[in-house]
Structure 1
Amino acid sequence: MHRLNRLALVVAATGMLSLSTLPVLAQEPTASAVTEARMEGSIATAFALNRHLNPFRIQVQVEGTTAVLTGTVENSVNRDLAEQVALGIEGIDEVDSRLQVDTDVDQSDAERTSLANRLGDATTTATVKSKLLWNRNTQGLDIAVSTRNSVVTLTGNATSEAASELAERLAGNTEGVREVINEIVVTPGPGTARRAQDTASDMADEAAEVVSDAWVTSKVKSSMLFDRDLDGMDISVMSRNGHVTLSGRVDSPERKELAIDTARSIRGVRSVDAEALRVSP
């Protein structure tokens, strides 16, 4: 009976059913079961909205603050991304990944393909929004994102041409985006000085803010996976007290610099050490 309660809660947490419509069950769910079910629903939704992960069947079970992942993915990059996406969900402190890697995993299932197509534009929008939010230079901008047939449109306001161009570049480098229409209005105006003060204040607040190393590592890895020029590169990320270490291999000096810049731009990153990131064409 507890299992039936839990299943109903997971369905409700993913938005497919309201808790108020559930049938009366013999055993009332505990508060912890409700919380775990909501986190399971949040992780499942995040997987469904991620174009790299939605073709695969990944099962999620939350036990306390630990997410247990089972299923099969195509490669270690997919497995690592699934771990990081789950770790980025509020309330999850640890991921127990039992995902198996199978390069011959079937991705042609009609149902999954249909879901991937339906969620394609929504995934792109969510990805671009995430990149803008995680970047220390665009997180506070009033920018709206919409996607149609892989064409991203940016609207809203920015305080400088540089900020507008950065938002466009972040969107354009996202996997699956074929064109970016930049309709951001640059409004320096008389409030520029005030906004500069606000920016300085925000930076001071950021310096004082405690951003967990797990959060930093997750966002750096995800940003690299979402970047069409870095996706697939063999890059490992570690963070300690905001000091990020990159290791592994890239195929050109330009991609190494891009990896460093990507890591450095993430909110909460204090420094980047890329001595162990080797260039191997």
Structure 2
Amino acid sequence: MPFTPRMAVLAAALLSVCVPALADPVQDARLQGSLQTALSLNRILNPFRIQVEVEGARARLTGEVENAVERDLAEHVALATRGIEQVDNQLQVNPRLVERPLELRAYAQRLEDATLAAIIRARLLWSRLTEKAAIDVQSSDGVVTLRGKVDSAEAKELAGLLARTSDGVHLVNNLVSLDTAAMAKARENPVDAPSGPPPSDSWVVDKIQTSYRFSRNLDGLNIKVASEQGMVRLSGEVVSSEQKTIAVDIARQIVGVRGVDADLLRVASKVEG
């Protein structure tokens, strides 16, 4: 029987099913780095030495943790990492790890403080009131200290608010002072006056959503954000009218936002038990 073009197509299709896809070591390394970073940044898991191997969409975890809760958490972190679809969880539970070395705990706290300070600096940078303010942020065991000078009382208040509402902060020392010379200059050039090209709508949406995730007052996953030329629309669901107000306030102060429409952001109805 002659080998027809149709037979060639069928043969190619059969090979595509039977022959596994070629490995991509660069992609594997990228996913491995992403997962290792996620585990290191997790405040529960970062004291443990967890090894990660990635092949395709499958991750393998090895090492020791103290209990089954931490073992399961590591698997959830892996599955939440974009690109990881399967997890071979080989972590061993070792209750004797309850006495963790002091240097590991100290390192974990330093990492937590550095991450927390970076989150607050980012939120200050995204706000139209504080984006150009020279505010120093220090964190120690969840106690945040703000120093620097701003050109308005509103900017100082917002800096304290953004720090205080960031997830992981226990106390804020707002030592930011008012710069009288800068205040006079700010009155001549209001903060709402355009000072350059506005950011893109995708940038605005990303910063609002990220700020929601960093806030301990909101479940950002339930709030959808859209923007058209700086006009922001919020939809989804929050658990209280207070949360809705917070969501609107956070969105309103982001650089590039000209207005916020929250008519489609519903407050969840209470279910009688």
TM-score, length-scaled by structure 2: 0.63
The yes-or-no answer on 1:136 pairing with 2:121 is: no
CA offsets, 1:107-149, max 9 Å, x none?
x9989x9675441001100000011001111111111101111
Q: Is the 1:48–1:54 Cα contact (8 Å) retained in structure 2?
A: yes
Alignment match, 2:16: none
* Unaligned ranges ≥5, structure 1: 11-36, 61-67, 83-96
Among 148, 154, 159, which residue is 2:151 paired with? 159
Distance change (3 Å), C-alpha of 1:59 and 1:116: farther
Deviation string, structure 1 residues 236-274 (Cα, Å, up to 9, x no partner): 222233222211111111111110111111112222222
Counterpart of 1:274 in structure 2 is 262
Per-residue CA deviations over 1:186-240 (Å, capped at 9, x if unaligned) read 1224x5332333445x73125x42x222211111011111111114662122223
Which one-letter code corresponds to 2:262 in the other structure? Answer: A
CA distance, structure 2, for counterparts of residue 247 and residue 57 of structure 1? 40
In structure 1, what is the Cα distance between the partners aligned to 2:124 and 2:246? 16
- Equivalent position of 1:186 in the other structure: 178
Supply the distance in 1 between the matched residues of 2:158 and 2:216 (Cα, whole angstroms): 16
| 1:219 equivalent in structure 2 | 207
- Shift in alpha-carbon separation, 1:203–1:243, aligned structure 2, 3 A: same
Distance (whole Å) between structure 1 residues aligned to residue 187 and residue 115 of structure 2: 33
SS at match of 1:203: coil
CA distance in 2, matches of 1:222, 1:134: 10
SS of structure 2 residue aligned to 1:205: coil
SS of aligned partner of 2:193: helix
What is the one-letter code of the residue matched to 2:183? T
Match status 1:253 vs 2:241 = yes
Is 1:197 matched up with 2:185?
A: no
User: Deviation per CA, 1:161-199, whole angstroms, max 9, x where unpaired?
Assistant: 22212101110111100011111111224x533233344
Unaligned runs of 5+ in 2: 1-23, 60-73
Query: TM-score when scaled to structure 1?
Result: 0.61
Q: Does 2:89 correspond to 1:98?
A: no
SS of the aligned residue for 2:180 comes to: coil
Question: Could you tell me how far apart the structure 2 residues matched to 1:45 and 1:217 are?
Answer: 27
Larger radius of gyration: 2
CA RMSD of aligned residues (A): 4.3
Q: Pick closer, same or farther for the CA change 1:59–1:177 going to 2, 3 Å.
A: farther
1:174 — aligned with what?
166
Q: 1:239 aligns with which of 216, 227, 239?
A: 227
Select 1:145's aligned residue among 134, 137, 142.
137
SS at match of 2:263: strand
Q: 1:195 to 1:243 in 2, by over 3 A?
A: closer
